[in-house]
A and B are shown apart, each in its own frame.
Chain A
């Protein structure tokens, strides 16, 4: 049996994952080095990569802070009843169940230029939909569960005793968090960051809907790939896609490294 299953597994991996990845590499070199460079140094490519970069940084920072705090509350807080905790806990997963396109649509529906809120913000000169804030919001929504879901099980596993011990030794919550809790959840947070970066880097549907995909203004790397494909400019699409894929593979490697480090500790 073993002789059948292992080659079969290899086959699935090669067909489904390895060949496609290689194809992106070869595809972007189809017109040689210059074609690849040209695809990347187009004005819209550079702008799109910059937009993606901004979104990744802002979203990761915000969702890390809020995600860790919410995880702490959902596991530890005594000021929340158990029922409310359970309810909030299941609400955390909602973005998983929501198609990214729908996620984007929600933001358009609530904050779009034709809504009361959207009009209000536009009046004070703060454009949300079809602008960067909306794209960040959409990505925040989509990536929110990742951090919470990485940190919560770690908190549950370590239990509250070490924190209680710290409090009987006179430490208040801030000190306890940094000196007792943080060292234990550090790796969970790192995983969460990696996942959040990967997801916000690759977010497409929600951003596409919210941004309007305006070249050189609200276009991100993934929506640029989409546009290039739609325009049958496959080589250019490949160039940008290669950069994104390289980042993803890099993140995956980082994750593996982190897991190994953690096992050593």
Chain B
């Protein structure tokens, strides 16, 4: 189902939960709504489902405005954060609920339910009650239940939040495969960036009720358009006075500008490890943390503290050691603008033309 949202607003009393959100989703896409808790993601999802009515704005499914349609008539499936399974019904009855409402024949219901139970790997559990299932199994039931009436749009509210970290990764892959196989347009809400990056075709970043950015995970990582997105996705260190770093002196032209520097944009090492040593600055290793597959290094350049990673293959550094630091680029932002600045010194000062 093709979905379009225009100028969506939601107010709860004085609290403005959703502000002017607009987007379009192509049929068959899997979208992640990502953002910190309490940022309005769930409100957007509930408005799409019809469980909450927008203060203003339009929700359009398939070119038809559905604002006034109750949830029963929107053709959606909803997976709740705590699954909201009917706790007095067996797995079978839970999955069959939506079909019974539609007054399908017993045989039809049986076939469809068994098909879904098999698809979700719940065979043998159909006569259990929700309290007899593990968290992962409950999630599968909720998923099967939502899919049973063949909805056009699947909405999932924090589908993995209540699941143990260990099986969460496993379930993620499972869900992504499942949704691809069914081919249904889906939107899920999460506050976990790894989850969004791994599962979603496209991510929408929501903060304080606003849609900050929409794009593929790679896009968003590479080209964050707001300060919030830059700091929310990936790791980064904030630098107040970036003009004091060599190669970024130009930043002084924009007073009040700050910078975000990702660890992967920083290289450290001995002098000989760099192709253009003149682009590096001097720093001192402050702390070293062993991170299993690499070193995390805290390094001080003047009074600016930076964080980066270093391969285990390279020479082991010692705390207090003087090192060369190469900063490839930084995200600069001020109140009006966000842009990427490359290290000016990396352009070879004495290019040799052949």
Contacts and interface: CB of A to CB of B under 8 A. Distances in A.
Contacts, number: 63
A161 B101 contact: no
A168 interface: yes
The interface centre, meaning the residue of B78, B97, B145 with most chain A CB atoms within 10 A of its CB, is B97
B135 interface: no
Contacts of B276: none
A170 B78 contact: no
Contacts of B87: 162, 184
Interface string A122-161: 0000000000000000000000000000000000000001
Nearest to B46: A164
Contact of B88 (A165, A175, A184): A184
B248 to A, nearest CB: 51
Contact of A168 (B86, B88, B102, B146): B146
Given A164-B51, A164-B78, A170 B101 contact: yes
Contacts of A180: 86
Given A170-B101, A171-B72, A165 B149 contact: no
Interface in B316-335: none
**A166, A169, A171, A180 pick with most chain B CB within 10 angstroms:** A169
B71 interface: yes
A179 B97 contact: yes
B82 interface: yes
Contact of B70 (A161, A167, A183): A167
B88 A170 contact: no
Contacts of A167: 50-51, 70-72
Nearest to A168: B78
Nearest to A169: B98
Contacts of B84: 161-162, 164-165
B35 interface: no
A172 interface: yes
A168 B74 CA distance: 8
Interface string B44-82: 000001110000000000000000001111101110101
Nearest to B102: A170
Given A161-B84, A183-B88, A168 B76 contact: yes
A171 B101 contact: yes
Contacts of A168: 49-51, 71-72, 74, 76-78, 146
Nearest to B157: A161
A167 B155 CA distance: 14
B88 A161 contact: no
A162 B72 contact: no
Nearest to A159: B84
- Greatest chain A CB density within 10 A among B74, B85, B88 is at B88
Interface in A151-206: 161-162, 164-172, 175, 179-180, 183-184
Contacts of B145: 165, 169
Contact of A169 (B50, B51, B101): B101
B82 A161 contact: yes
B102 A162 contact: no
A168 B78 CA distance: 6
Given A161-B84, A183-B88, A184-B88, A166 B97 contact: yes
B80 A170 contact: no
Given A164-B71, A183-B88, A184-B88, A171 B80 contact: no
Which of B77, B78, B86, B148 has the most chain A CB atoms inside 10 A of its CB? B86
Q: Give the one of A167, A168, A179 with max B CB within 10 A.
A: A168
Contacts of B74: 168
Interface string A70-111: 000000000000000000000000000000000000000000
A63 to B, nearest CB: 25
A254 to B, nearest CB: 22
Contacts of A164: 51, 71, 78, 80, 84
Given A164-B71, A164-B80, A169 B49 contact: no
Given A161-B80, A161-B84, A165-B84, A175 B101 contact: yes
Given A171-B97, A172-B72, A165 B80 contact: yes
A166 B89 CA distance: 13
Given A168-B77, A179-B86, 7 more contacts: A162-B85, A165-B80, A168-B51, A169-B97, A170-B149, A171-B101, A183-B88
6 smallest A-B Cβ distances: which pairs?
A169-B98, A161-B84, A168-B78, A165-B84, A183-B88, A167-B71
Interface of B: 49-51, 70-74, 76-78, 80, 82, 84-88, 97-98, 101-102, 145-146, 148-149
14 contacts: A161-B84, A162-B87, A164-B51, A164-B78, A165-B85, A165-B145, A166-B97, A167-B51, A167-B72, A168-B76, A170-B73, A175-B101, A180-B86, A184-B88
